[in-house]
Amino acid sequence: MKYVIVLGDGMADEPIPELGNQTPLACARTANLDALSAVSEIGMVHTIPDGMKPGSDTANLSVMGYDPRRYYSGRSPLEALSIGVPMKETDIALRCNLVTISGEASDPFEAYTMTDHSAGEISTGDAAVLLEAVKKELENETYRFYKGTSYRHCLIWEHGQAAELTPPHDILGQTIGAYLPKDPVLYEMMKKSHAILEHHPINEERRRQGRNPANCCWFWGAGTKPMLSGFEQAHQKKGVMISAVDLLKGIAVGAGMDNIEVEGANGGLDTNYEGKAKAAVKALTEDGYDFAYIHIEAPDEMGHQGSAEKKIKAIENIDVHVIKPLKQGLDDAGVSYRMMVLPDHPTPVRLRTHTGDDVPYLLYDSTHPVKGNGLYNEKEAAGTGIRVEKGHELILRLFS
């Protein structure tokens, strides 16, 4: 038996009046998911433990079978693992987003507004040049910067403190003053980064092209070196991660799983969806893996952008370019398999950030179809009355 999880990051939502009070998942044309739901178990799962902040870090740990209350030590340390940052026990890792803040040149730094947490999903190439400019001015023996992917980078603070910091996607459209770090050094580094980046040639060119400039470093997600138990040891399954996002790659590294890099996978709306599906089929049918985790970031990014139209498009892309070729490839290979499809958390278009509400899951067994309702969305899943309270126990249903 082979096992696969398809994780549509932030895919769940709330009813939207402009969509006839439907969610993007309900409104999207998902013929392949709906066909699966007719022969699958569908229910709801609570991925974010009560009292913990809703995020892709805690939620994906849950989906992978790790209780966040036990294993979560911060988001950035997991990302640091994926890019090979040599963390010591006394280090603190922080996410360093390249963001867009806006205001008048005469405004104090504190009066600027958080416009875009991803600087228009800046390319890794452009981001690397900008981060190098920041490193040249701000890096020292205590604070070291490491390049990640797109807007997502890492700062290691030697002998640092796990300070309380605000994710930039939580304050979109808000003045940043109340959310700046209390630590004076981190505060000054963020302020100086704006001075370094505001008129950098790359950002001037981005403005000419009508794109958001990456004109500030924003620190958040602080934590200590993570200590995850081995996935294969826990479940007797050799696993592989297929994701464009450093967080998921880092979870895989910490869990002792392999990462597969897919050309053209970038975490955006135009990611290589089908390439991920093909990589999973190959891993499961040719390369000796028992379990594949396919993570697609696009619905979450579209939720953060506040675009219902683009979020629907991301969901439809998953349906056509991931679910369809994945099922077809596994069927053609003649293997028995169990497939689970779900979001990690909701990213409501109205809020443009995460919530900790339950999310719908679909569980398909190629050897044992069950009678379902033929629709996969939040309302239909809640209507089944099936609910998994502890998200980290959901994977046991997949492996049972």
- Condensed to tens digits (0 to 9), the pLDDT of residues 182-210 reads 999 999 999 999 999 999 999 999 999 99
Whole-angstrom CA distances from 378 to 13, 159, 239, 257, 359 are 8, 44, 28, 31, 7
Q: What is the C-alpha to C-alpha distance for residues 177 and 3, in angstroms, rounded to an integer?
A: 47
- Condensed to tens digits (0 to 9), the pLDDT of residues 249-281 reads 999 999 999 999 999 999 999 999 999 999 999
| pLDDT average, residue stretch 283-299 | 98
User: What domains are there in the chain, each with its CATH number?
Assistant: 2-72+228-399 (3.40.720.10), 91-223 (no CATH)
Q: Which amino acid is at 33?
A: L
Closest CA to 266 of 146, 150, 96, 125: 150
Return the residue matching tokens 């952008």: 305
In this prediction, residue 263 carries a pLDDT of 96
| pLDDT average, residue stretch 168-189 | 96
CB count in 10 Å sphere of residue 84: 8
In this prediction, residue 228 carries a pLDDT of 93
Q: What is the C-alpha to C-alpha distance for residues 130 and 63, in angstroms, rounded to an integer?
A: 34
Question: For residues 193 and 216, is the Cβ–Cβ distance under 8 A?
Answer: yes
- What are the φ and ψ backbone dihedral angles of 121, each rounded to 5 degrees? 50, 55
CB count in 10 Å sphere of residue 1: 12
What's the pLDDT band for 230 if we cut at 50, 70, 90? very high
Q: What is the C-alpha to C-alpha distance for residues 329 and 249, in angstroms, rounded to an integer?
A: 24
Strand, coil or helix: what is 294?
A: strand
In this prediction, residue 115 carries a pLDDT of 97
Report the share of the chain in percent with pLDDT over 90. 94
In sign, the C-alpha dihedral spanning 315, 317, 318, 323 is: positive
| pLDDT average, residue stretch 309-333 | 98
In this prediction, residue 54 carries a pLDDT of 95
What's the pLDDT band for 163 if we cut at 50, 70, 90? confident
Question: For residues 181 and 193, is the Cβ–Cβ distance under 8 A?
Answer: no
Whole-angstrom CA distances from 318 to 17, 145, 210, 345, 365 are 24, 34, 29, 16, 19
Q: Where are the alpha helices (DSSP H) in the chain?
A: 24-27, 31-37, 56-63, 68-71, 75-82, 124-138, 184-197, 201-208, 231-235, 246-255, 273-285, 298-305, 308-318, 324-333, 378-383, 394-399
For the cut 90, the answer to whether the pLDDT of residue 134 exceeds it is: yes
Q: What is the C-alpha to C-alpha distance for residues 381 and 372, in angstroms, rounded to an integer?
A: 10
C-alpha gyration radius of the chain: 21
Strand, coil or helix: what is 6?
A: strand
For the cut 90, the answer to whether the pLDDT of residue 161 exceeds it is: no
What's the pLDDT band for 373 if we cut at 50, 70, 90? confident
In this prediction, residue 55 carries a pLDDT of 93
Closest CA to 243 of 268, 222, 224: 268
pTM of the model: 0.85
What's the pLDDT band for 162 if we cut at 50, 70, 90? confident
- Residues contacting residue 196 through CB under 8 Å, at least 6 positions apart: 133, 134, 137, 138
| pLDDT average, residue stretch 285-290 | 98
- Residues contacting residue 142 through CB under 8 Å, at least 6 positions apart: 157, 158, 159
| pLDDT average, residue stretch 316-323 | 98
CB count in 10 Å sphere of residue 396: 12
Residue 36 corresponds to which tokens in the numbers above?
């699966």
The residues pairing with 203 across neighbouring beta strands, listed in sequence order, are none
In this prediction, residue 159 carries a pLDDT of 94
In this prediction, residue 40 carries a pLDDT of 97
In this prediction, residue 250 carries a pLDDT of 93
In sign, the C-alpha dihedral spanning 281, 285, 289, 290 is: positive
CB count in 10 Å sphere of residue 233: 10
| pLDDT average, residue stretch 60-83 | 93
Residue 306 corresponds to which tokens in the numbers above?
């506040």
For the cut 90, the answer to whether the pLDDT of residue 302 exceeds it is: yes
| pLDDT average, residue stretch 141-153 | 95
Mean pLDDT of the chain: 96
Region of 217 on the Ramachandran plot (φ > 0 left; ψ -120 to 50 alpha; else beta): beta
Question: For residues 381 and 49, is the Cβ–Cβ distance under 8 A?
Answer: no
- Condensed to tens digits (0 to 9), the pLDDT of residues 80-111 reads 988 888 899 999 999 999 999 999 999 999 99
Which stretches does DSSP call E strand in 335-374? 337-342, 359-365
| pLDDT average, residue stretch 376-384 | 97
